[in-house]
């Protein structure tokens, strides 16, 4: 008897679609940041994102606290992760508000490659020759986007590069924490601690939102929450080398949305640099997967 195969039974397709959904949510959230920056500082935008994220996961947090499964022995590492993550969010929100959105996400594609470098330096992991080649190609792509010496590197571009480094360092923290704590614990502590850190600077720059701002603010929080959820489901469903290319959909999607809302297009150099970074990242993932199959 021939068994009917459902479209959703294919793990690779399911993982790819989850990642495509995550990339779309991130692109929409970026446009929300750009729109809201006219009335709110980056400190308040990060606060509102953290507040909404905490409120949305509050039921899980309460249930875990009542069940005694929320405790952790990794608080120092959580605090380090929070500091890195908060710094990265402030910088990337500033970048989204002050430079083409496509350029921001092109530079953030460096995060997986920087993670490889930090894993070698901090976790003492071994990197293959192919991995180092991929990192070199990716950084050449970043230089093509920035073109130092040809155009001035803006404060916004520098901020996005800081984000790439802090997000890569955050990945290292999460990799260590995940050895003892569940993904739900990591998500809860990440949102809660970020909210606590974001509250203090927001107090000095607070601007009460109008009713017209609420749809954008809610979209900001919801899109980032869904992006994280979709991303987690994607890597759970399929291998990283299969789903990672669909993470790069955030570039064309964000460009389309930015052109529609802000009449903004990235330069041709951005596309060339982004293509190099994409190729380097995929090559790194593919070569690592091939190496593990031989072990």
> Can you give the pLDDT at residue 90?
94
- Within-domain flag for 3: no
C-alpha span between 224 and 239 (Å, rounded): 23
Q: Which two tokens stand for residue 209?
A: 């939102």
User: At a CB cut-off of 8 Å and minimum separation 6, what does 197 contact?
Assistant: 82, 83, 86
Whether 191 is covered by a domain: the verdict is: yes
Q: What's the total number of domains in the chain?
A: 1
Report if residue 5 sits inside a domain: no
Residue 1 covered by a domain:
no
Domain contains 141: yes
Residue 219 within a domain: yes
Does any domain span residue 59?
A: yes
Given a contact cutoff of 8 angstroms between Cβ atoms, the answer to whether 247 and 23 are in contact is: yes
Give the pair of three-digit tokens for residue 191. 């949102």
| Per-residue pLDDT at 162 | 94
Residues 70/61, Cβ–Cβ less than 8 Å: yes
User: Which two tokens mark 284?
Assistant: 């790194």
Contact predicate 288/132, CB 8 Å: no
Structural domain including 14 reads 10-294
CA 97 – CA 259 distance, rounded (Å): 15
- pLDDT score at 290: 64
SS (H, E, C) the chain: CCCCCCHHHCHHHHHHHHHHHHHHHHHHHHHHHHHHCCCCCHHHHHHHHHHHHHHHCHHHHHHHHHCCCCCCCCHHHHHHHHHHHHHHHHHHHHHHHHCCHHHHHHHHCCHHHHHHHHHHHHCCCCCCHHHHHHHHHHHHHHHHHHCECCECCCHHHHHHHHHHHHHHHHHHHHHHHCCCCCHHHHHHHHHHHHHHHHHHHHHHHCCCCCHHHHHHHHHHHHHHHHHHHHHHHHHHHCCHHHHHHHHCCHHHHHHHHHHHHHCCCCCHHHHHHHHHHHHHHHHHHHHHHHHHHHC
Per-residue pLDDT of the chain (295 residues), as tens digits, is 444 434 444 777 777 788 888 889 988 999 999 999 989 999 999 999 889 888 888 888 888 888 878 888 889 999 999 999 999 999 999 999 898 888 888 888 888 788 878 887 877 777 677 778 888 888 888 888 877 655 567 899 899 999 999 988 887 888 788 788 877 788 888 888 999 999 999 999 999 999 999 999 999 988 888 887 787 777 667 666 666 677 778 888 888 888 888 878 788 888 888 888 878 877 776 676 666 666 5
Q: Which of 214, 75, 97 lies closest to 154, judged by CA?
A: 97
CA nearest to 122, candidates 72, 172, 185: 172
């Amino acid at each position: 008897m021939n068994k009917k195969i459902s479209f959703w039974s294919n793990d690779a397709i399911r993982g790819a679609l989850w990642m495509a959904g995550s990339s779309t949510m991130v692109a929409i959230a970026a446009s929300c940041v750009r729109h809201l920056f006219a009335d709110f500082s980056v400190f308040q935008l990060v606060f509102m994102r953290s507040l909404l994220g905490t409120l949305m996961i509050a039921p899980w947090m309460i249930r875990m606290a009542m069940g005694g499964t929320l405790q952790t022995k990794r608080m120092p590492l959580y605090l380090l992760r929070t500091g890195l993550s908060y710094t990265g969010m402030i910088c990337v929100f500033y970048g989204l508000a002050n430079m083409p959105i496509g350029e921001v996400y092109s530079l953030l594609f460096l995060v997986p490659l920087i993670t490889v470098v930090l894993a070698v330096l901090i976790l003492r992991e071994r990197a293959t020759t192919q991995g180092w080649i991929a990192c070199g190609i990716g950084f050449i792509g970043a230089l093509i986007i920035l073109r130092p010496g040809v155009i001035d590197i803006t404060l916004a571009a520098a901020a996005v590069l800081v984000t790439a480094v802090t997000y890569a360092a955050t990945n290292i923290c999460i990799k260590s924490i995940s050895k003892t704590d569940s993904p739900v614990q990591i998500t809860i502590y990440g949102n809660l601690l970020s909210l606590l850190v974001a509250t203090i600077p927001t107090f000095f720059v607070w601007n009460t939102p109008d009713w017209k701002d609420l749809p954008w603010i809610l979209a900001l929080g919801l899109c980032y929450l869904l992006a994280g959820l979709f991303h987690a489901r994607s890597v759970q469903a399929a291998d990283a080398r299969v789903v990672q290319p669909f993470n790069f959909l955030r570039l064309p999607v964000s460009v389309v949305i930015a052109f529609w809302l802000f009449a903004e297009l990235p330069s041709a150099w951005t596309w060339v640099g982004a293509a190099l970074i994409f190729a380097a990242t995929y090559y790194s993932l593919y070569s690592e997967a091939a190496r593990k199959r031989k072990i």
